[in-house]
Chains A and B, each alone.
Chain A
């Protein structure tokens, strides 16, 4: 049977559709012209402008403070949640637990943003870096938990039994066998949490206060009121950072079986 060529053509067009805007954006970040339709040679002028801007540095500082603390807290909480879900998955409590963890993955972000804003206003918590931290941990837990859970489902638990048979205490078998083997999954979850936190705009927008501008908030106000070429440069840098993080995390997720069984790799 000869296969129709139609699906291949659609897929190719989809590929162009996906990449055209991104490629042009990156190219334009090196274009000294103010308007993108005219190419005036290669230049780093917008990058230079970017690095001279104190607001960008402040936003970067805020973003990193939040992302690092969010990653630490949500990785611990998310990993614990994944353990609970995997070990006691059948219990009623875990079904509630799972529904809660699933929430941030389906509910539109704007709803999470607005409800958290209401909550912080009603509770009298001043908006700022701390409220952004709380909000980010809330959705990052879900992504870490799901990543680690995926890893746990592939895990061969007879290895724990073997460790126990050979005289390891429960704590020892957890720490010396389970944890090292799960490390790639946990690390992938942590990287995911980090990128999500660095990237988040909608929720952050709602719960941010004066002086807690993050990079995405900065980019947003630049898009609305500022200079487009500088955003091209900033976007290209962000693209480079997130792409690296994603590629590393994909690597970690794909480390399986034989490779993953060597502790310390």
Chain B
């Protein structure tokens, strides 16, 4: 998963893109639910055999992954919360007994600065991604079929490549001897003393670069389903282009925007490599502190406490968006829109 957080996950987050692509639209049953709500009913012929009751068959196919993920996701996550209350031992391990000192240490101004910076860098990144992704998603959705596929490929392909490589590419561009610096110098925009690297702005730039495709894809998926006659109608009724865009198009693609928010903001909160490689000491984020506690101070309880904060910070927007999406879904059903 070469991409810090962002990863290739968007493909799956937006079911519109990955799971339903090319398949026929969901058939809706009379109760308003899609027929896929009880998936695989016709699967029975395989599993129906004497001596293998459905329940047992279900356990047989799900237990391996349930056990694996339980052991390597659930247990470790719980452990993070437990270890936060343990003292550190001098050998870089976990000591005996319990303590609240680590949790108390989180309230120091130093950490509050880091937490605030993590928040604003993530928010700014998300906002910039949306500003760039909405016009791009719109353009791709309105392009001819041939161009649409080409453009989508262009968005997706480079970002399946190593995340580290992409960050490095920017690092060398922004380097004092790099292209961008030299170009700006030649244009007289910056002096030879200016450093472009090791600055929060560089962190935001590279984060936008990393997360932008994952913003474009869900917005494109929503824009593709949007009925553009609505925009024409708005224009006919006297709306100016920007008004029509803001009042008709944006609400029309809100689900895509929500998904995009989620897939940028959450991984952005957990960023670590980007501030580590292109940011300086003045752009450290929560992830850098966690890594420092692990690799430099060898203080696992402290790292755990910080991670616990990050887990909670990640859960908040996740739950918020899920609630919003559920509300939207209800509204859609009332208005008779397709899911």
Contacts and interface: CB of A to CB of B under 8 A. Distances in A.
Interface of A: 1, 3-4, 6-8, 10-11, 14-15, 17-22, 24-25, 28, 35-37, 77-78, 80-81, 83-91, 93-94, 96-97, 100-101, 103-112, 114-119, 121-122, 134-135, 137-139, 141-143, 145-147, 149-150, 152-154, 157-158, 160-161, 163-164, 170, 173-174, 178, 192, 195-196, 199-203, 206, 216, 219-220, 223-224, 228, 231-232, 235, 238-239, 242-243, 246-247, 250, 254, 256
Contact of A114 (B132, B167, B216, B303): B303
A223 B45 contact: no
A157 B40 contact: yes
**Interface SS, B side:** helix
Contacts, number: 322
B177 A88 contact: no
A23 B32 CA distance: 50
Nearest to B182: A37
Interface string B125-150: 00000001001101110100000000
Given A21-B166, A86-B43, A108 B139 contact: no
A223 B166 CA distance: 12
Contacts of B179: 24, 36-37
Given A111-B310, A196-B2, A201-B164, A88 B58 contact: yes
Given A35-B177, A149-B19, A195-B160, A94 B62 contact: yes
B304 interface: yes
B196 to A, nearest CB: 13
A168 to B, nearest CB: 9
Interface in B239-278: 241, 262, 266-267, 269-273, 277
A88 B66 CA distance: 14
A188 to B, nearest CB: 11
Contacts of B271: 108
Contacts of B66: 93, 96-97, 100
Nearest to A196: B1
A51 to B, nearest CB: 18
Given A100-B69, A106-B262, A114 B294 contact: yes
B7 A109 contact: yes
A216 to B, nearest CB: 6
Interface in B174-223: 175, 177-179, 182, 209, 212-213, 216
Contact of A150 (B19, B158, B235): B19
A208 to B, nearest CB: 11
A111 B73 contact: no
Contacts of B307: 110-111, 114-115
A164 B61 contact: no
28 contacts: A7-B138, A20-B173, A21-B166, A25-B168, A35-B178, A77-B65, A84-B65, A88-B54, A104-B73, A107-B266, A108-B270, A115-B307, A121-B300, A122-B79, A134-B72, A138-B68, A141-B65, A150-B21, A157-B43, A170-B45, A196-B8, A219-B168, A220-B164, A223-B167, A238-B161, A239-B162, A242-B162, A243-B157
A18 B212 contact: yes
B4 interface: yes
Nearest to B277: A223
A21 B208 CA distance: 14
Given A88-B62, A115-B79, A135-B72, A153 B138 contact: no
A161 B282 CA distance: 64
B287 interface: yes
A198 B93 CA distance: 29
A145 B59 CA distance: 17
Nearest to B11: A146
A265 B166 CA distance: 35
